[in-house]
């Protein structure tokens, strides 16, 4: 399929580059480093070879979210966003941008998102999970009350918020002790992000701000498969759910969330996600440079879905959600 749009596609600046070094084996680092730093060279060649018209770029992980000094987090977010704005301006037909945000401080994050959307035309924000603030073990999740004014700004700006994974901090990761292979995309990324998303849904956030648009990668971090059980556990007891939200969790998942194919190139999983949230809420992505563009595109172009759904997922859903112009 030609004209695809991909939106979980990362880059790094010198201040954040080494954050990505530990995710893959040491011998792969020279290749990964080159992929992260490049924007207008091999990246465009990969896009051209595999039918990708536009990438929405975002900073690597955990980057800003792992800087527990609030002033430093704000400085790096602004530096990354300024750099990205300049790169997008060189070729806006091929590249658009997500803002990095210092969510250690909701007010700083609100101001930075407004700056990026209003001054640079960024298409939303991508945030790498919880933020550490004040100390490495102080992990802040965005259902907490201090974040609700930030969410009001997100809704007012009418831009999507991409909730991207990160690993749990060591102090909160005892379940993985001695089993480091479970960290990262194998399991911990999905578990951490799914719980964060469920916290948002259960907090009443979407009752207060019903027009929020949240994007999750990797076919929804396992949530489509589990959504029925979330709402129907032990149904015979008639017990009311013990959360602040006023409606079943699945209703928020269906109405406020979009899912991408990033790093999860499996047709059975795609069909399950389509059955749960519909083809109208799924978006093509690759997860470059951590996954290969050819793996993503070759699978997607040939997977057993209708051509109408392929066009929606590959292009028109993203055009509409991110207001990219003519569909």
- Domains delineated in the chain: 4-321 (3.20.20.140)
Q: Tally Cβ neighbours within 10 Å of residue 113.
A: 26
Q: What is the dihedral of CA 307, 223, 174, 287, to 10 degrees?
A: 20
Instruction: Indicate if 158 belongs to the active site.
Output: no
> For the segment 109-126, what is each residue's pLDDT rounded down to a tens digit?
999 999 999 999 999 999
Q: Is the pLDDT of residue 327 over 80?
A: no
User: Which residues, listed in sequence order, are joined to residue 57 by a DSSP beta bridge?
Assistant: 9, 97
Higher pLDDT: 309 or 25? It is 309
Q: What is the dihedral of CA 203, 207, 209, 213, to 10 degrees?
A: 80
Q: Phi first, then psi: what are they for 103, rounded to 5°?
A: -75, 10
Q: Give the pLDDT confidence score for residue 23 in this predicted structure.
A: 84
> For the segment 220-274, what is each residue's pLDDT rounded down to a tens digit?
999 999 999 999 999 899 888 999 999 999 999 999 999 999 999 999 999 999 9
What percent of the chain has pLDDT above 70?
A: 99
Q: Residue 271 in contact with residue 310, Cβ under 8 Å?
A: no
Which of the four pLDDT bands, split at 50, 70 and 90, describes residue 22? Answer: confident
List Cβ neighbours of 16 (8 Å cut-off, separation of 6 or more): 59, 60, 63, 64, 76, 80
**Average pLDDT over every residue of 198-207:** 98
Q: Is the pLDDT of residue 95 over 80?
A: yes
Q: Which of 19, 105, 143, 287 is catalytic?
A: 287
Angle at 119 between CA 117 and CA 123, to 5 degrees: 25
β-bridge pairing 52-59 and 131-132:
unpaired
Mean pLDDT, the chain, as a whole number? 97
Question: Which uninterrupted H or E stretch holds 227?
Answer: helix 223-232
Higher pLDDT: 326 or 198? It is 198
Q: Residue 264 in contact with residue 219, Cβ under 8 Å?
A: yes
Burial of 134 (0-12, 13-18, 19+ CB in 10 A): exposed
Q: pTM of this prediction?
A: 0.97
**Average pLDDT over every residue of 131-157:** 97
Q: Give the span between the Cα atoms of 160 and 183, in whole angstroms.
A: 27
Q: Give the pLDDT confidence score for residue 326 in this predicted structure.
A: 56
- List the one residue out of 185, 173, 176, 248 whose CA is nearest residue 217: 185
């Amino acid at each position: 399929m030609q004209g695809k749009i991909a939106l979980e596609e990362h880059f790094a600046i010198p201040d954040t580059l080494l954050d990505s070094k530990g995710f893959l084996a040491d011998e792969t680092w020279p290749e990964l480093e080159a992929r992260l730093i490049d924007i207008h060279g091999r990246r465009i060649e990969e896009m051209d070879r595999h039918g990708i018209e536009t990438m929405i770029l975002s900073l690597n992980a955990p980057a800003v979210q792992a800087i527990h000094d609030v002033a430093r987090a704000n400085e790096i977010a602004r530096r990354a966003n300024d750099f990205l704005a300049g790169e997008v301006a060189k070729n806006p037909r091929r590249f658009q941008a997500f803002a990095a945000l210092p969510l250690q401080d909701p007010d700083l994050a609100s101001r930075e998102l407004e700056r990026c959307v209003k001054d640079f035309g960024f298409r939303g924000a991508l945030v790498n999970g919880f933020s550490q603030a004040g100390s490495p073990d102080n992990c802040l999740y965005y259902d907490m009350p201090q974040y609700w004014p930030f969410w009001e700004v997100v809704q007012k700006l009418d831009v999507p918020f991409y909730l991207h994974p990160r690993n749990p901090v060591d102090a909160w990761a005892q379940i993985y002790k001695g089993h480091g292979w479970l960290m990262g995309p194998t399991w911990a990324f999905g578990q951490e992000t799914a719980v964060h998303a469920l916290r948002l849904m259960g907090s009443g956030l979407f009752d207060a701000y019903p027009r929020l648009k949240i994007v999750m990668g990797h076919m929804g971090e396992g949530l489509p498969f589990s959504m029925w059980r979330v709402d129907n556990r032990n149904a015979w007891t008639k017990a009311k759910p013990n959360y602040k939200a006023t409606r079943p969790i699945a209703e928020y998942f269906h109405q406020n969330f979009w899912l991408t194919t990033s790093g999860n190139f499996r047709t059975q999983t795609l069909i399950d996600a389509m059955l749960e949230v519909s083809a109208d809420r799924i978006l093509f992505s690759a997860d470059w440079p951590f996954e290969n563009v050819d793996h993503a595109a070759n699978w997607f172009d040939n997977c057993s879905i209708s051509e109408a759904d392929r066009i929606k997922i590959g292009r028109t859903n993203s055009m509409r959600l991110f207001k990219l112009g003519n569909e």
